[in-house]
Structure 1
Amino acid sequence: MVERLPRRSDQPKANGIVGQVVRLLHQRGLSDQDVPVPVFMFGAMTLDLVELDANPLYAMGIKQPALEELFETRALELGVEIRRGHELTGFTQDADGVSLELTGPEGPYRLRTRYLVGCDGAHSLVRKRAGIGFPGVSSADIVSRTAHVTVPGAVISTERAEMEVPGVGTFGLYAWHRTERGAYAMLPVAPGVLTVGATEWDAPAPGEDVPMTIEELSESLARVYGKKVPLGPPVGPGPHMLRRLDGRETRVAANYRAGRVFVAGDAAHVHSAMGAPGLNLGLQDAVNLAWKLAAELRGWAPPWLLDTYDAERRPAALRVAMHTQAQLALSAPGPAVTALRELFGELLGDEATRRRIAALMAGSDLPYPMSAPPHPLLGRFLAELPAGPAARARPMLLDATGGLRVRHGRVDVVRSEGPDCVLVRPDGYVAWAGSTPDKSLEQALETWFCESLEMPA
């Protein structure tokens, strides 16, 4: 693994993960958080999930630097070489591999690899050099400002998720709030310190070369909220967030593969952060591609397996692009949007609507295409799996009959008490399910793992 930064960034970014990948991290033994969230937000509107049976929306509270440390520790345990302070400057590919041009602490050098995966952000060099398009839309009329601040005189109650500012008003915490002039959010991040954000449409914005200040955020928040809120500098050690974002980009790569080159994460998709879908989407890209590359490198992958990465993950990104744009539209000011929110609020009173949106936000609403016979589990993520094989990212055949065996040992056969046998890929998705093992199970084993059942004599 090549990483341009010489060390893990300590800049404040995400404060947690929301979505289906939380359950996958639990499977892998990387999280002990496996409880669905009772309340979330959609388009700065409350999404009440308390009474929802089989709530699919899970969250994991972890700051991004700690999350990166968690992943790095696991990677090192598995023997991964991480080259920090090494930057990719170019590459060429041929039928047998990819030749990389890199610059490290001791100067430029070359490296040969069989495949290249670009996880190098929205301005991805890998994506551009591979000739992969990045179509989408730009919204230039939106300005967001975010900073770590103190609010002098404020009384914060995390139990009630409220902050009382004498002479100003009461603010709800942990959520976006929309007004007729924009949207704002407040999130406690440390004792006495909050992340405060304000988003405006058609608002004045200084040039990119003008440094962002807390006073600029305070003025923006006053325009959105309607009253001046006293904001002060944060206390304690940094780094502290002080960020301005002009405009919004919503883009999805035209394809996720170009020969032996792949893109994942922000290199493959960018969108509004509303609903916090970014880490869920990008991490699922990585999990989807990783086991397929491993199968290819070990020599048993079917020739079409790597193509399924694009077929499975690009539609997921298009769904996120759609719902984040919808949330941004629902958060915009204006009487027409107010009317739309009133109607949408009525729809949120229906359990079916809440369930559908929760699945959309979790990234669990879109099954992967499978060629096996129809079954409710087919193409879906299966959260409840035996801990051992799941933690090792091994494919599994959950055997409800007690008599199944496989020939080559590429699939772990695990006795199951369920009514059906289930074939599960290393990423937790179901490739086959049925009450009676038959030729379709044989076909699924051969299709995904070049494996076969070992029939009794």
Structure 2
Amino acid sequence: MHHPIPYDVVIAGAGPVGLLLACELRLAGLSVLVLEQAENPSSPLKRLPFGMRGLSVPTIEAFDRRGLLDDIAMPQQKLGSGKGGVSGQEKNQPRRQAGHFAGISFDYDNIDSAKWPYRLPGPAGTNMAAEMAHLEIVLAARAGAMGVEIRRGLGVESLDQSDDGVTVRAGNETFHARWLVGCDGGRSTVRKAAGFEFTGTDPEFTGYSVEVEMADPDTLGQGRIYTPTGMYFQSRPGTIAMVEFDGGAFHRSQPVTPEHVQAVLRRISGTDVTLTALKLATTWTDRAYQATAYRKGRVLLAGDAAHIHSPLGGQGLNLGLGDAMNLGWKLAATIRGDAPAGLLDSYFEERHPVGAQVLDWSRAQVALMRPSPNSRALEAIIRDLIATRDGATYFAERVWGVSLRYDLGGDHPLIGRSAPDFELADGTRFGERLRNGRGLLLDFDVSPALQALTSRWSGRITYIASNAKERLGLSALLVRPDGVVAWAADAEPDPEGAAQAAARWFGESK
């Protein structure tokens, strides 16, 4: 009898999160199969205008560190944002909007980047936009080139796990793997089949994203408009997002017809607008749920399978890609057998609080959007705060992900943060040195003790002895494969501290 070849990892879902995770696992030499329910990845909702996604600092850095940024940034001109964020703004604009919170915008000119002493200029700017369809094409091409097997039209239907592997059924086929990762979206089959607990808050509204033609386009205002019954946002004539506070009742309950969209638009806008055509429509809600664990046995969750929330502020994609970067190298080390104790558990310990924070960020925006006098009063206060220098800086930190820091212990303020993109003495950048997915020990002062230490983790940690254009007062730092600083020293480095950090993240020395 023919038995299917066992894979190291089967990933359910070929969205950006599943594809990036597959690339990370292949970087470590593992065999990976991606199963995707949809036959065809393309959808009008993944293309502009609805497929537009803002990329946060951790996402842009991840793409840069894996050599993907240039491919993803290529259609930037179309999206109207410069690669470095600020540089893409027209210099003569009186206000340069840098982002928003519940539609209340904050400006570049108000942001005090001196508050971020460990950020260095580089190709990874503070914000950038990408089209979902293009992002998936780039990631699928990279995964394919690296040897990831992608099977479309085959969604995971059921699973069984044992002590040493997982059996997955998809269509008429059965696959065996050591591990299974569910990256199969908010209604994840993997999450349900494996019995993960999923808890949170139920929706307050149904959101609509529609492309329409109107008999009287001038009836509706442009921009974001709050009304006594909800909110609508017309970015350009006929491209409308709107929310109706109906407890999410309409979402996925019946087909979205032109008559229904017209009725909702009339109720929210308080006008008698008439639709002549409905070209595209999708609904969404502010339901905010999160898995209480990200691992059960040999099944893991990442992306929307692990957490869902409203698309307000565009945090979902970034949150999922952050999961993939965090999980990939840890799962690979676990499968290779050189992971230290608890390494895989650190995926949940680090990523669950980040997810919980984003869910609350989403809930806070909903609270500001409710059509009530209390929310309008609160909105006025937030509007005043966001217009201050400290306020704009705080909101930029949160929206862009600059403030992301894992609690890894250690005294140095850089530990748990993203490594600065140093420009090294030979003209290369630190980010480029992470392309192979290994850890890095950057030693500015060439300490023999540190050099000897990394030889004990050869193959897992690359030693770099180099000065840099701007050292930020540091003498040495140890960086994990995901670009997170595990150990840092300002003055004379402590080799014992570096060795402890290396053992904690890279396992036993040879």
TM-score bracket for the superposition, by shorter chain length: 0.7 to 0.9
Corresponding residue number in structure 1 for 2:8: none
Report if the CA contact (8 A) 1:44-1:178 is conserved.
no
Please give the alpha-carbon distance, in whole angstroms, between the structure 2 residues aligned to 1:125 and 1:259.
16
Corresponding residue number in structure 2 for 1:131: 195
Corresponding residue number in structure 2 for 1:5: 38
Equivalent residues in 2 for 1:292-441 (5 A)? Answer: 292-371=330-409, 373-384=410-421, 386-403=430-447, 404-405=450-451, 406-407=454-455, 408-414=458-464, 415-417=466-468, 418=471, 419-420=473-474, 421-435=476-490, 436-438=492-494, 439-441=496-498
Task: From the superposition, tell whether residues 209 and 69 of structure 1 become closer, same or farther in structure 2 (CA, over 3 Å).
Answer: same
Please give the alpha-carbon distance, in whole angstroms, between the structure 2 residues aligned to 1:410 and 1:203.
51
Of 79, 97, 103, 1:44 maps to 103
For residue 128 of structure 1, report the CA deviation from its aligned partner.
1.8
Report if the CA contact (8 A) 2:55-2:130 is conserved.
no
Task: From the superposition, tell whether residues 150 and 394 of structure 1 become closer, same or farther in structure 2 (CA, over 3 Å).
Answer: farther
For residue 144 of structure 1, report the CA deviation from its aligned partner.
2.0
Tell me, yes or no, if structure 1 residue 145 matches structure 2 residue 208.
Answer: yes
- The amino acid of 1:143's aligned partner reads T
Corresponding residue number in structure 1 for 2:136: 68
Report if the CA contact (8 A) 1:24-1:383 is conserved.
no
Q: Please state which structure has a larger fraction of its residues in helix.
A: 2
Of 217, 227, 248, 1:179 maps to 227
Secondary structure of the residue aligned to 1:305 is coil
Task: From the superposition, tell whether residues 387 and 452 of structure 1 become closer, same or farther in structure 2 (CA, over 3 Å).
Answer: same
Task: From the superposition, tell whether residues 58 and 214 of structure 1 become closer, same or farther in structure 2 (CA, over 3 Å).
Answer: farther
For residue 258 of structure 1, report the CA deviation from its aligned partner.
0.8
For residue 334 of structure 1, report the CA deviation from its aligned partner.
1.6
Report if the CA contact (8 A) 2:220-2:273 is conserved.
no
Structure 2: gaps (5+ residues):
1-33, 74-82, 87-96, 120-124, 422-428
Task: From the superposition, tell whether residues 180 and 292 of structure 1 become closer, same or farther in structure 2 (CA, over 3 Å).
Answer: same
- The answer to which of 220-229 and 38-47 deviates more is 220-229
Report if the CA contact (8 A) 1:148-1:195 is conserved.
yes
Secondary structure of the residue aligned to 1:115 is strand
Give CA-to-partner distance per residue, 1:45-95, whole Å, 9 cap, x none. Answer: 122233313289833322211111111011112111112222222222222
- The amino acid of 2:136's aligned partner reads E
Please give the alpha-carbon distance, in whole angstroms, between the structure 1 residues aligned to 2:215 and 2:477.
57
For residue 298 of structure 1, report the CA deviation from its aligned partner.
2.4
Report if the CA contact (8 A) 2:340-2:508 is conserved.
no
For residue 281 of structure 1, report the CA deviation from its aligned partner.
0.4
Report if the CA contact (8 A) 1:316-1:363 is conserved.
no
Secondary structure of the residue aligned to 1:342 is helix
Report if the CA contact (8 A) 1:23-1:383 is conserved.
no
Corresponding residue number in structure 1 for 2:5: none
Of 101, 107, 120, 2:184 maps to 120
Please give the alpha-carbon distance, in whole angstroms, between the structure 1 residues aligned to 2:175 and 2:248.
48
Task: From the superposition, tell whether residues 73 and 46 of structure 1 become closer, same or farther in structure 2 (CA, over 3 Å).
Answer: same
- The amino acid of 2:244's aligned partner reads E
Secondary structure of the residue aligned to 1:302 is coil
Give CA-to-partner distance per residue, 1:125-170, whole Å, 9 cap, x none. Answer: 211222210011102x42222211245676xxxxxxxxxx3xx365
Please give the alpha-carbon distance, in whole angstroms, between the structure 1 residues aligned to 2:286 and 2:38.
26
For residue 365 of structure 1, report the CA deviation from its aligned partner.
2.8
Q: What is the Cα-based RMSD across aligned positions, in Å? A: 2.6
Tell me, yes or no, if structure 1 residue 444 matches structure 2 residue 508.
Answer: no
Structure 1: gaps (5+ residues):
155-164, 235-239
Tell me, yes or no, if structure 1 residue 111 matches structure 2 residue 161.
Answer: no
Corresponding residue number in structure 1 for 2:262: 218
Report if the CA contact (8 A) 1:3-1:84 is conserved.
yes
Corresponding residue number in structure 2 for 1:244: 283
Please give the alpha-carbon distance, in whole angstroms, between the structure 1 residues aligned to 2:151 and 2:353.
32
Instruction: Report the number of matched residues.
Output: 422
TM-score, normalised via structure 1 length: 0.85
- The amino acid of 1:250's aligned partner reads A
Task: From the superposition, tell whether residues 207 and 76 of structure 1 become closer, same or farther in structure 2 (CA, over 3 Å).
Answer: closer
TM-score, normalised via structure 2 length: 0.76
Report if the CA contact (8 A) 1:393-1:426 is conserved.
yes
Identity of aligned residues (%): 34
- The answer to which of 441-450 and 44-53 deviates more is 44-53
Secondary structure of the residue aligned to 1:114 is strand
Give CA-to-partner distance per residue, 1:307-355, whole Å, 9 cap, x none. Answer: 0010011101100110101001101112111111112222223322222
Please give the alpha-carbon distance, in whole angstroms, between the structure 1 residues aligned to 2:348 and 2:249.
38
For residue 288 of structure 1, report the CA deviation from its aligned partner.
0.7
Report if the CA contact (8 A) 1:281-1:363 is conserved.
no
Please give the alpha-carbon distance, in whole angstroms, between the structure 1 residues aligned to 2:508 and 2:394.
36
Please give the alpha-carbon distance, in whole angstroms, between the structure 1 residues aligned to 2:460 and 2:265.
57
Equivalent residues in 2 for 1:24-103 (5 A)? Answer: 24-32=62-70, 33=73, 34-36=83-85, 38-54=97-113, 58-103=126-171
